[in-house]
Amino acid sequence: MIKQGMNILKQNEKKRLDFQPELKQINFLDRRVYKRSEGVYYPSVTTILQYMPKNKFFESWLKDVGHSADLIMRRAGKEGTQVHEAAEALVLGQEVSWMDDYGNAKYSQIVWEMILKFHDFWKTHKPELISAEDFVYSDETTEQRIWYLKKTGEQAWNGTAKGVIGQAEGLEDGDTFYWNYTIDLPVPDGTMRVTFDDYMWLISEDRMLNKAYMSKFGVPLGEVTIMFEKL
């Protein structure tokens, strides 16, 4: 709605370049890219779709909605982002509510229904999360460990991977996660069975500190400090 005294030009002004370092995301006037590593950038899915060939159904839809197409696309993008962020919060065990502290709705009815559908799916099927670790050792040998993880309680997880004896057990507490497992590690003359106690701390939105303690028969063998960074 246009109100008396509103500066239309200022309200609709577009920035030519909008850089969001916390997301490693750069928005240009006509496209968006994500920084993968130093000097390496990838276009967003939306940017790629702009250049994909459109079929007759899209042309028909565009003809029907006319100038409202851009508004519809922006609204759909906003709703999709809200559902994605809520789903991620639910997977992490965080609480998602429809109302804020003042009793105002944070989501539209259609967005809230999609969030509830995801919640029902997650609770019913309890899907596995897959995590891959790639190791490069000082002797230039490599190893990959693929974890299959399941959330078993409000704060509890378990997982399996090649070489792990039984199941790994995990417990989350706020920004801290404890992960314990026994594994047969490959060594030059075979394998060695050791136990790991991993403590992980989320120190920012995109960084996590991991302190791993390795032992055998309760005797400490060593410790490793690892920093994970989200790309």
* Domain map (residue ranges) of the chain: 15-52, 66-125, 129-229
Q: What's the rounded mean pLDDT across residues 112-138?
A: 84
pLDDT computed for residue 2 by the predictor = 34
Q: Beta partners for 159?
A: 149, 168
More confident residue, 187 or 97: 97
How does DSSP classify residue 95?
A: -
pLDDT computed for residue 10 by the predictor = 43
Q: What percent of the chain has pLDDT over 90?
A: 24
Per the CB < 8 A criterion, the answer to whether 106 and 115 are in contact is: no
Query: Each residue of 155-180: b (16+ CB within 10 Å) or e?
Result: eebbbbbeebeebbebebeeeebebe
User: At residue 200, what is the residue type?
Assistant: M
Radius of gyration of the chain (CA): 24
Q: What's the rounded mean pLDDT across residues 43-47?
A: 72
3-state helix, strand, coil in the chain (%, to 5): 25, 40, 30
Half-sphere exposure of 18 (CA within 13 A, CB side): 10
pLDDT computed for residue 184 by the predictor = 92
Q: Poorest-confidence range of 27-31, 151-155, 227-231?
A: 27-31
Rounded to whole angstroms, the Cα distance separating 63 from 148 reads 47
List, for residues 89-113, the tens digit of each pLDDT value: 887 778 899 888 888 888 999 999 9
Please state the pTM of the whole predicted model.
Answer: 0.50
pLDDT computed for residue 21 by the predictor = 53
Query: Each residue of 61-82: b (16+ CB within 10 Å) or e?
Result: eeeeeeeeeeeeeeeeeeeeeb
Q: Which of 20-29, 52-61, 92-101, 161-170 has the highest mean pLDDT?
A: 161-170
| Whether pLDDT at 199 is above 90 | yes
